[in-house]
Amino acid sequence: MASRSSEIRTFVRQMSKIHQCDMDVEYHDARRYWVINWHDGPTREAVLAAIQRQLPEHKDIVYTGRYLSDEATVLGAIRCYVSGEVHRWNDLRYAAERLLEDVAFPLRTATARESAMVERLLEESAQDRPWGRDRNADHALELLTERKGIGWLFTPAAAPDGRQPEADGHMPPALAPLPVELLTARYARGDHSIAWRERAAPMPLAEAFAAALADEEIDRDAALAALTLVADLQAVLDANTATLMARARGAGGSWSDVGQALGRITKQSAAKKYGVLTRPAKRPSASG
């Protein structure tokens, strides 16, 4: 037993060093097996594969258990909402664990925006206790369930007295909404509203722009956000125009036909317009 114990414990120390992850092992005397435990870090499959390679004679008595930290659990829950996976499970924690099951070092995979979402969610769901602020995944998951999604993470927090947040309230840079997200939060209705509330999914550009344009009492922030969409909308329009011109030509239409459809322009102008729309954008020179 001493030799077996030494081999297994040496293996765990090596794995901890390789993966830079605190791992521990415990022996269950009643059932005569070992369990290696760790938080986040490598996947169970990766550790099991290492056991097969390095401890083949002990593989039937060495078990593994990977647990998620509060931060990783919250990250998994956020991704469940983004992907729509949340609707497949009744238990949000279980859904988060399943989603990250095959993700090694989940917190290392988080984007700056995801990290900011995790931090805000944990902080906003924290509860004051005699010993200090209690931040844990259970509180955060309860808040996500209560608010039915993650869209609210991109709006300023309400004031302590319950007043609605100001439009220009302080937000971490990573959570500052993109223009189309700002418009979605303002104008989304019906299915778009549900998609924003649950998944922070923005409206299509054209619909967000149209909603802003229809608002005769639009404020400065929304108007500027809508203006930033013009270039993107124009790019989409140009690409679609070029596609339809090519299809019209492929179906037997002449450049004269295309010119007529575009507003009675000459066939030369129609052909030139097509060339401009399909010409690759010039990249700035190294000297520029």
Task: Give me the average pLDDT of each 10-residue run along the chain (288 residues).
Answer: 83 94 92 93 95 93 95 97 92 95 96 96 91 90 95 75 46 90 96 96 96 95 95 92 94 94 92 89 52
Residue 113 burial (CB count, 10 A): 17
The C-alpha R_g of the chain, in whole angstroms, comes to 28
Q: Can you name the residues that pair with 274 across neighbouring β-strands?
A: none
Q: What is the pLDDT of residue 281?
A: 65
- Give dist(CA 153, CA 124) in Å, integer: 10
Q: Can you name the residues that pair with 128 across neighbouring β-strands?
A: 133
Q: Does residue 208 contact residue 226 with C-beta atoms inside 8 Å?
A: yes
- In degrees and rounded to multiples of 5, residue 117 shows phi and psi of -65, -45
- Give dist(CA 6, CA 19) in Å, integer: 20
Extended strands (E) in the chain: 23-28, 33-39, 62-67, 127-129, 132-134
Burial class, 55, CB count within 10 angstroms (exposed 0-12 / middle 13-18 / buried 19+)? middle
Domain range list for the chain: 2-67, 70-154, 177-215, 231-278
Q: Which amino acid is at 204?
A: P
Q: Which residue has the tokens 């639009």?
A: 218
Q: Does residue 72 contact residue 91 with C-beta atoms inside 8 Å?
A: no
Q: What token pair was written down for 119?
A: 């931090």
Q: What is the pLDDT of residue 288?
A: 40
Q: What is the pLDDT of residue 172?
A: 82
- In degrees and rounded to multiples of 5, residue 204 shows phi and psi of -60, 145
Secondary structure element (H or E) that encloses residue 101, with its range: none
Q: Which residues contact 12 (CB under 8 A, 6 or more apart)?
A: 23, 24, 25, 36
Q: What token pair was written down for 171?
A: 């937000």
Q: What token pair was written down for 102?
A: 């095959």
Helices (H) and strands (E) in the chain, counts: 13, 5
Q: What is the pLDDT of residue 163?
A: 43
Q: What is the pLDDT of residue 10?
A: 93
